[in-house]
């Protein structure tokens, strides 16, 4: 049990704590008041210099730190100059109400006259729900509206606005660019909810005894086979194109080699042995290059054909129409000739 002296000491400690907390609170309040006053003065200087955007930011910060009627009126004037008609109208209306309560008739008259002038220029938006849905939410410029706001004329500043609506089991309704002009117009937007369409499920039939690493009925499990076939087909066309170009270069080199060989024989026959031997050596070199390049081109062309034909399979264990395609590619090379034989059968 505490004695009377202990109670007196406890009461003194509590009083001391309360005094400290009150002192801290007063210091913070004084600091906010001083900063709010300085921001207000800076805002007035910005307004005098014609820097409207900077002035509005100063007045808004000052009002957040410490609410004051004079700051609110200046903020309304600033927003009016910015063209934010709805914002300024709301601030002038609030200023007139505060001035009326405090008996400041001059300020009340000033704020009320500005509010009435702006009201004739207000842009308003009415949001209507054609098919109300349980749990629906409507957001205007990222802010969720209360249900009572639906069907009410909402004052908005001119410019672009975003309107979103969603409900469980319904498709999201969105109008990302709702432009309101500077003149007074009443705009109506009707939101219609539609049932969300479920994603179709693709079933995969797996033969008895076949390996099945993917989950049956999952559309995602079917994607790799399709993507693999498409990629293989594209690669086949690319490799085949390169091979076709190689065959063309090889044939050209063989034609040049044949021409040089004929010319060298004529030169040797005319007695120009040195030139004839040089042309003959060049023809041998061109012929060798032609065979090598043409052979590589034929191999690439065959590989491209194989890739394209094998891409027709729907999967590694599922050939087209239940048949396996057996492809055989046979290069045919001979002096002065290059060819490609392609054969196959369906089993």
Say how many CA atoms lie within 13 Å of 295 toward its Cβ: 10
What the chain holds in terms of domains, given with CATH numbers, is 28-119 (1.25.40.10), 123-191 (2.60.40.1120), 225-346 (no CATH)
Question: What is the mean pLDDT of each successive set of 10 residues along the chain, which is 347 residues long?
Answer: 41 44 52 89 94 95 94 96 95 96 95 94 91 91 92 91 92 81 82 74 46 42 49 76 78 81 77 75 80 80 78 50 48 51 49
Q: Calculate ∠ Cα 344-346-347, nearest 5°.
A: 125
pLDDT on residue 285: 85
Residues paired with residue 154 on neighbouring β-strands, in sequence order: 125
Q: Is the dihedral of CA 289, 294, 300, 302 positive or negative?
A: negative
pLDDT on residue 20: 39
């Amino acid at each position: 049990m505490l004695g009377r002296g202990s109670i007196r000491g406890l009461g003194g400690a509590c009083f001391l704590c309360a005094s400290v907390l009150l002192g801290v609170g007063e210091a913070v309040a004084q600091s906010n008041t001083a900063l709010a006053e300085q921001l207000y003065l800076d805002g007035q200087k910005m307004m005098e210099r014609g820097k409207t955007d900077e002035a509005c930011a100063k007045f808004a910060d000052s009002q957040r730190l410490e609410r004051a009627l004079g700051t609110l009126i200046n903020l309304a004037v600033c927003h009016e100059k910015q063209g934010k008609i709805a914002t300024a109208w709301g601030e002038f209306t609030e200023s007139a109400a505060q001035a009326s309560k405090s008996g400041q008739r001059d300020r009340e008259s000033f704020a009320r006259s500005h509010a009435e002038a702006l009201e004739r220029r207000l842009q308003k938006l009415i949001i209507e729900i054609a098919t109300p849905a349980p749990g629906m939410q409507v957001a205007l410029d990222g802010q969720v509206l209360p249900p009572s706001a639906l069907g009410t004329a909402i004052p908005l500043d001119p410019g672009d606005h975003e309107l979103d609506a969603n409900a469980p089991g319904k498709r999201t309704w969105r109008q990302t660019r709702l432009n309101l002009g500077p003149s007074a117009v009443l705009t109506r937007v009707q939101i219609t909810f539609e049932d969300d369409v479920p994603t179709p499920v693709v079933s995969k039939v797996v033969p008895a005894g076949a390996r099945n690493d993917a989950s049956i009925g999952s559309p995602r499990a079917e994607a790799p086979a399709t993507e693999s076939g498409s990629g293989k087909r594209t690669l086949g066309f690319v490799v085949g194109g390169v091979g076709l170009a190689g065959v063309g270069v090889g044939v050209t080199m063989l034609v040049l080699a044949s021409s040089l060989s004929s010319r060298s024989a004529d030169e040797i026959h005319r007695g120009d042995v040195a030139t004839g031997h040089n042309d003959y050596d060049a023809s041998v070199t061109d012929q060798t290059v032609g065979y090598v390049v043409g052979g590589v081109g034929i191999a690439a062309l065959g590989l491209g054909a194989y890739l394209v034909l094998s891409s027709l399979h729907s999967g590694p264990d599922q050939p087209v129409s239940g048949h396996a395609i057996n492809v055989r590619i046979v290069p045919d090379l001979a002096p002065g000739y290059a060819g490609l034989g392609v054969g196959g059968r369906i089993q």
